Amino acid sequence: MKRILVTGAANGLGRHMATKFLSRGFYVTFADNDIHSLEILEQLLANDAALFPPNSNRSIQSHALFYKCDVSDESSVSTCIAATVEKFSGLDALINNAALATPWISGNDDPTMPFDNVPVANFRKFLDINLVGPYICSHYAASHLRASKGCIINISSTRALQSEANNEGYSASKAGLLGLTQAMAVSFSSSGVRVNAVSPGWIDVREMNTKESVALSPLSESDHSQHPAGRVGVPNDITKMVEFLVDDDNGFITGQNFIIDGGMTKKMIYNE
């Protein structure tokens, strides 16, 4: 069974991907800087009989590692990867998913604040976490992935290709991640390590919020209908693509970006 490290795994897409891999019997490191959410998630999964049937030889202790990791900090990343390799005797796949949760340059949920009204430090933070973070993780995972002829999957965004106002930090960092993906794919070409990117569009991840359970307002018909696929995306849409890329049967694919957005980036939108 494969050994997989997922960053940003306490909530959202990362939680869904890591949990799905765990359900398949893989060995999974849930890495996240939010230790509180990690602790809650560990308890939730440990009590999930569907993940760990009583008659199976799997357990949360044997198949999962929950590790506090700041992807923008080299020491934090290196110790996380070392702990993963020590526990699982290697590493087969790195999923660089951790990112700032908000796309707005304000650094919070204010979409109206223009980039010239916020400190330049806000922009640097997006780069440090969303772009430099995946580079650091890949740097320290490289030797282990060469040994296993594994793969790296970078989670980018359709905001790398199109944008809303005041998305400078998020869009630039996610676009940079696409450049990093193709560069690393070429650099790793002689060692059998594949590197690809997945760019999600609008994915409703609200049910993957670990820290608090709140009543979710339903999405509107217009939310769904603006997608050629007829609906807003769900976490499994992304997880299935990542599973496909992790599979060794798809070893001829590297250096690519897979846009999973229900066709939204292909649709021309005009004001009525």
- List, by residue number, the catalytic residues: 170
Contacts of 177-181 with CB under 8 Å at 24 or more apart are 177/96, 177/130, 177/131, 177/134, 178/154, 178/257, 180/131, 180/134, 180/135, 180/154, 181/154, 181/156, 181/255, 181/257
Beta-sheet pairing, 3-7 with 151-155 = unpaired
End-to-end CA distance of the chain: 53
Of 37, 175, 167, give the one whose Cα is nearest residue 107.
167
Burial grade of 57 (CB within 10 A; 0-12, 13-18, 19 or more): exposed
Tokens 């959410």 -> residue: 37
CA distances from 223 to 45, 218, 226, 229 (A): 32, 10, 6, 12
Q: What is the H or E stretch that residue 43 is in?
A: helix 35-46
Tokens 């940079």 -> residue: 176
DSSP letters along 160-183, please?
A: GTS--TT-HHHHHHHHHHHHHHHH
Of 9, 17, 194, 2, give the one whose Cα is nearest residue 89.
2
Q: In whole angstroms, what is the distance from residue 214 CA to residue 216 CA?
A: 6
